[in-house]
Chain A
Amino acid sequence: MGRYVIRRLLQFIPTVFGALFLLHYLTSVAIQLTGNPVRALFGDRMPPESVLRNLTERLGLGDPCLEQPFSPCLALFTQRLESIFLHFDFGTNFSERPVTDIVAGAMPYTLRLTAIAISFELLVGISAGVLAGLRNGGFWDYWLKISTVLIISVPVVVLGVVVRDFVNLSFGNWLRGLEAVPDAISRGVFAPTWTPNYPLASLIIPGLVLGALQLAATARLTRSSLLENIRADYVRTAWAKGLGQGRVVGIHTLRNSLIPVITLIGTDIGALMGGAVVTEGIFNVPGIGRQVFAAIFTGETTVVIGIVTLLVLVYLIASLVVDLLYAVLDPRIRYD
């Protein structure tokens, strides 16, 4: 087990370096092809030449290789690696705020949003999947299939905007007009967009929107995995022993059926956090998705490299944790 974990951790190293280089290269090429993004800070007024040069230099974009199309900028890359790994310095954004500060400030919101999304997936997705599995081929089964597929078919931007405008705004305004409804509900949970007055309550609906995308996959995976297991010999034995449905389904079948579901959710944590880009934008949640999205367009390469590499790392760690969980959930599996 220990050796396995160490080997997996060692595999992280080339992956993280690969991700860093890929991002470094893509963002450098973007600058090489579209020009110095620092210039855009000044709008239509031409800044004094020395101001532009000094600022560009200070923001770490002064390397002349950024003017040679498709140059890999290896010197700049080593320099970046050096400051990241030796000084834990990820650079700053154009307002000269350190990337580490930005991530520290934004991460909690994204983590909470992701946690809400995952809880929603687990609770609703698994219950719906079990329900559909037990009524295989029945009304619930079809209903689940159509409704979950329908949700994922709607482009998330449309889903998010429609939920915000009709649930948070129209329904929320109606709630806000009612005396009986406490503020935590009407101005918290149903706040039109995320609000610092109810930082957690107003994350719930954005979290549900984010989770809705994976709901379909979770529910359907639960269903099919349950179906496979329910025909297994050991389940038949359990039935034969005369155990009640609750025990058979709950303990014997579900436990094994959940293994692939956990894999799915685990490997998607990273994607979920990246996918928060849209949800965070629509609901104005000050998380990392919003940060990195803005940074891509302003050309704040340091922010892009820092945050996206972090997401890759999250993905790697989550998939390692999932593999380890396997061993816990399925006693047949051993890592030596």
Chain B
Amino acid sequence: MTNRWKLAAGVAAMSLLAACGGSEDDGSDGGEQAQQETATGGELRAYLSEPDSLIPSAATDSESNQVLTEIYRGLTINGADGGAELAVAESIESDDNITWTVRLKEGYTFTNGEPVDADAFIRGWNFAAYGPNAQDGAGFFERIVGFEEVQADPPQTEELSGLTKVDDYTFTVELNAPFSGFREVVAYQVFAPMAEECLADTDACNEMPISNGPYQLESPWEHDVQVVLTRNEDYPGEDAGFADRIVFRIFESQDAAYAAFQGGELDVIDQVPAERRPEAQAQYPDGYFQTPNNSFTYLGIPDYDERFSDVRLRQAFSLAIDRQAIIDAALGGTQRPASGWVSPLFEGQRDVVCQYCDYDPEEAKRLFDEAGGWDGTLELMANAGAGHETWLQALGDQLKQNLGIDYTINVDQQFAEYLATLENQEAIGPYRLGWGPDYALMETYLTHLYGTDQSSNYFGYSNPEFDDLLKQGDSAATVDEAIGFYQQAEDVLAEDMVAIPLWWGTQTVLYNPDTVAELGFNPIDYEDYGQTVLKQQG
């Protein structure tokens, strides 16, 4: 039984995909014939695991996000092509990317009748950012002026000084530093507005949200059983939902959910157990939707450990890994072998950057011997409870077979402890980590991971040439020019091999083609059930 670890919805905070090459819709084979005018109605039954919370600022997991996307509307939403589209906001403008002026559309109301106005947003954001409220999503407000003060212990003030109400439907947001991705970031649910009645009793609002989106809860959240939504008929936006009802059935395990799908209890399931995906694909050829996503998995080399300092050793490791074979055997064929350090969806990404990522056991052995081989047992690490042990073992077997290294695997630490181990540079062998983008510039895959002393640089890697190229890119006049420098920086990584690219991720959704006509989907939130069209009976 694989543990249910909710995907942290960090990816949902990223932005600007549309500006960078657009989303790839190649996996889509959903019915395109749906006609908008007659497409409303019906009941959609979807898989969900128990959400953390239905208070937008308290919920940063993907499960909560799926519900909140339907019941709340923020300033912008993620469009089908990945770019942010205005939702409750009439306009969001700035001259300097520091002070943003937000004008709201009038006519939006909460389900209790309160208006969705400037106060509603300022109220919600202040609640989210205030330290003592301990909201999971507080970190997303760190760019706003005053965040330090409300997070201090004890807090110096209760409100973000960067938020200023101009009139009932206008407010300004002042940021700490220029940030052009503001429109995209506020599409994330933690930036939702909040009704006064909700603030007065957040516990009640969690069970029966007072929301402003195209759907609303029909009845209070039945924990561990279901969350039932009905279409909000008073919703004024153009992105009203299609189905009359959305029933999120809550499952503890993907395995049980897949059984329910096979038995006709669910119309759509977005987490098919990896080992059953080939079977699912064969069984439901018309309902299997798979598309690349932005996740990148790599094997990190402890650069601080001088046993790994010979770059030929790392290159040999990489050449000795038959990525496709591991993916087919242990990952249900659902990932794509990575040959670079940047996700294929990003502008400036090149398909083959890494010359050492194709399986070549002879060359691997040659480089390995040249580098002087390896003494002792190699420890491979991954975090516990996420099913990594199987493929990690396959990877170890390949190193053993091709290079003659004995290996052990260490998957004892849960994620929090695992990160701490890496942070303290206590890893004594290659370790697994993944990365998701924060914004839609290829640099998001580079600086934080490999820049000297950066937050996620667990390798202890420092290469002045790499740092210098990034700096040149950051200060380049145009994005195109910048990308040229970033690509050169990526080439440096390809020589140093401090991170061995393993694979790029895919998102899989399985739906019942007898009941679902067209699956709503955007590359940020992935499936969007409100925008999913059902086949109409009769």
Residues of A with Cβ closer than 8 Å to B? Answer: 34-37, 39-48, 50-51, 53-55, 58, 94-97, 102, 105-106, 157, 161, 164-165, 168-169, 172-173, 176, 187, 191-193, 195-196, 280-284, 286, 290-291, 294, 297
Contact = CB atoms under 8 A, between A and B. Distances in A.
Interface stretch (B131-139, B403-411, B528-536): B131-139
Contacts of B264: 173, 176, 187, 192
Contacts of B60: 42-43, 45
B263 A286 contact: no
Nearest to B152: A50
B355 interface: no
Contacts of B223: 97, 102, 105, 286
A167 to B, nearest CB: 11
Contact of B153 (A50, A96, A283, A297): A50
Nearest to A293: B252
Contacts of A39: 416
A297 B252 CA distance: 13
Contacts of B308: none
Q: Which 7 pairs across A and B sit closest by C-beta, in order of nearness?
A: A43-B8, A192-B263, A39-B416, A54-B134, A286-B224, A55-B134, A284-B256
A106 B224 contact: yes
Nearest to A57: B134
B391 interface: no
B252 A164 contact: no
Contact of B139 (A48, A95, A280, A284): A48
Interface in B259-282: 259-260, 262-265
Interface centre among B131, B222, B256 (most CB of A within 10 A): B256
Contacts of B265: 187, 191-193, 195
B132 A54 contact: yes
Contacts of A58: 134
B250 interface: yes
Given A45-B10, A55-B134, A281-B256, A173 B52 contact: no
B94 interface: no
Contacts of B139: 42, 45-48, 51
B359 interface: no
Nearest to B131: A50
A294 B259 contact: no
A42 B260 contact: no
A193 B254 CA distance: 12
Given A41-B136, A95-B53, A173-B262, 19 more contacts: A34-B417, A40-B414, A40-B416, A42-B60, A44-B10, A44-B415, A45-B139, A50-B152, A50-B153, A51-B135, A53-B153, A55-B134, A169-B262, A172-B263, A187-B264, A192-B263, A196-B225, A284-B251, A284-B252
B445 to A, nearest CB: 14
Contacts of A47: 136, 138-139
A294 B4 contact: yes
Contacts of A94: 52
A58 B133 CA distance: 10
Contacts of A191: 263, 265
Given A44-B10, A168-B263, A193-B265, A50 B151 contact: yes
B512 to A, nearest CB: 13
Contacts of B420: 35
B153 A95 contact: no
Contacts of A196: 222, 225-226, 249
Contact of B8 (A44, A48, A173, A282): A44
24 contacts: A40-B416, A41-B52, A42-B139, A44-B415, A44-B436, A45-B8, A48-B138, A51-B139, A54-B131, A54-B133, A94-B52, A95-B53, A96-B203, A157-B1, A165-B259, A168-B263, A192-B259, A192-B263, A193-B259, A193-B260, A196-B225, A284-B253, A284-B260, A291-B224
Contact of A283 (B10, B133, B256, B434): B256
Contacts of B256: 164, 193, 281-284
B452 interface: no
Residue among B10, B152, B419 having the largest count of chain A Cβ atoms under 10 Å: B419
B222 A40 contact: no
Contact of A42 (B136, B142, B257, B434): B136
A108 to B, nearest CB: 11
B455 interface: yes
B463 interface: no
B373 interface: no
A34 B413 contact: yes
Most buried by A among B60, B260, B415, B434: B260
Interface in B292-312: none
B225 A286 contact: yes
A286 B250 contact: yes
Contact of B151 (A46, A51, A173, A187): A51
A281 B134 contact: no
Contacts of B390: none
Interface string B115-150: 000000000000000011111101100100000000
Contacts of B262: 169, 173, 192
Contacts of A161: 255
Contacts of B152: 50
Contacts of B414: 34-35, 37, 40
B3 interface: yes
B134 A43 contact: no
B54 to A, nearest CB: 10
A117 to B, nearest CB: 19
